Amino acid sequence: MTRYIIKRILILIPVLICITIILFSINKLMPGDPVKAMLPTNLKAEQYQAAYDAMYEKLGLDKSLPEQYVRWMLNMFQGDFGWSTMNNRAVADVVAEPIRNTVILNVGVIILQLLISIPIGIHCAVKRRGLFDNFWQVFSLITWSMPSFFLSMCLLYIFAINLGWLPFGGMPNASLLSGMEYVLAWLKHLILPTIVLTLISIASTIRIVRNAMIDALNQDYIRTARAKGLKEKVVVYSHAFRNALIPVSTVVVGTVFSLFAGSTITETIFAWNGIGKVLISAINARDTMLISTMNTFFSLVSVLAVLVSDIVYGLIDPRVRLS
């Protein structure tokens, strides 16, 4: 097992290097002058030139591109992600709160997503081609075809504007509220984005669970179990579902990592101050360091998600790590 894990990690290293090189090149392609953005505008021409040259050197822009890349990587390893010109603060400080907000939003989404989709997926597989299954098949096709911005706008139209039950978007105001009210305000702001993200994500999880269950139910050992005269419940939950858990568990691990992956569109519409929204504002403000850090962060999260689900897969299913 250790060998398997080490092998998986070793494979990741060139992948990560490639990704960072791609991100670095995109950063270099970005329009705008990063030095200019970091200098105060009220300097005289001479002072400005001197300050410009100093900053140019300090950012290491006088070095060759490979050297700049290595410096950038080393800095990131040491926890120095650069300076955000948009907020005039270190990038690490800028993203701390949005990451927290994104995690808060996604915790609810993931819990709901798994709670809803696993039982439904199992039931669909057991009662395959029944009314229940057909309903969820069509339902998942519809939510699959639903762009999140449109779903968000429809929900806002109904619940925020016409019924007035929920806020139109934005973040709860921390300074005005206290105690229970504060929690309630958070919940109110969380409801609509949570519904949108859950509806959009359950479609694929239901299908994955359903297909895994159908595959498991088609196995010979299920026929044997039924032939033994076991109760259908035992067959489904104890024989089939346990084996269906293998692919399902990788999905679960993957979704846990999506805690950190901000959803750009939904966060933008609901003005939720998460990392997806920060990325958009960083791009609009041409804040290159913040953009590259965010992109590296997103890539790292998805690489780690793949790694962990591979390892979990190997742990659960010995056939994987032996092949």
Partner 1 sequence: MAKNDSTAKKLGNSFVGMFKRLFVPQKRSALEEEAIQTPMRTVLKNFFRSKLGVIGLVMFVGFLLFAFLGSYLYPISLTYIELTNANLASGRNYLDVPEDISAQDVKKIVSGVSFSVLLTNDGQLRIWGTEPNQKLKDVSDYVLDIPKEVQNANIVDIATGGKHVLALDDQGNLYGWGYYGHGQTTLPEDTAEDFAEEGIVAESIYAATMWSAVVGSDQNLYFWGSSQATTNFKVTRAVKGHIEKIASGDNNMAVLLDDGTITVLGDKSSEYYSNVPEELQDGSVRVVDIASTNRNVLALDDEGNIYTWGSSQDGLTTVPEFTGEVTAVEAGYKHFILLLDDGSLVTWGANELGQTDLPENMGPVTQIFSDYFQSYALGEDGTIYAWGNRGYFLGSDEFGRDMLGRLIHGGRISLTVGAIAMLISTMIALIVGLAAGYFGGWVDHLLMRLADVFSAIPFYPIAITLNYAIGNSLSESGRLYLIMVVLGVLGWMGLARLVRAQLLVEREKDFVLAAKALGIRQNKIMWRHILPNVFNLVIVNVTLGYASSLLTEAGLSFLGFGVAAPTPSWGNMLTSAQASTVIQYYWWRWFVPGLCVVLAALSANLIGDALREAMDPRENER
Q: Which residues in this chain contact partner 1 in the complex, by CB under 8 A? A: 11, 14-16, 18-19, 22, 26, 29-31, 137-138, 141-142, 144-150, 153-154, 156-157, 160-161, 168, 261, 264-265, 268-269, 276, 279-280, 283, 291, 294-295, 298-299, 301-303, 306
Supply 115's token pair: 């709670």
Minimum Å distance from CB 15 to partner 1?
5
Supply 291's token pair: 């953009």
70 versus 141: smaller Cβ distance to partner 1? 141
Minimum Å distance from CB 292 to partner 1?
9
87 versus 302: smaller Cβ distance to partner 1? 302
Minimum Å distance from CB 269 to partner 1?
6
51 versus 283: smaller Cβ distance to partner 1? 283
Helix H or strand E encompassing 195: helix 179-217
Helix H or strand E encompassing 313: helix 288-316
Q: What is the dihedral of CA 226, 123, 144, 251, to 10 degrees?
A: -70
Which residue's structure tokens are 């494979």? Answer: 11
51 versus 137: smaller Cβ distance to partner 1? 137
Minimum Å distance from CB 47 to partner 1?
30
Minimum Å distance from CB 218 to partner 1?
9
11 versus 50: smaller Cβ distance to partner 1? 11
19 versus 312: smaller Cβ distance to partner 1? 19
DSSP-based three-state secondary structure for 82? coil
Q: What are phi and psi of 120, to 5 degrees?
A: -65, -45
Minimum Å distance from CB 73 to partner 1?
16
What phi-psi label fits residue 79: left (phi over 0), alpha (psi between -120 and 50 degrees) or beta?
A: left
Give the DSSP letter string of 224-283.
HHHHTT--HHIIIIIIIHHHHHHHHHHHHHHHHHTTSS--HHHHHHTT--SHHHHHHHHH
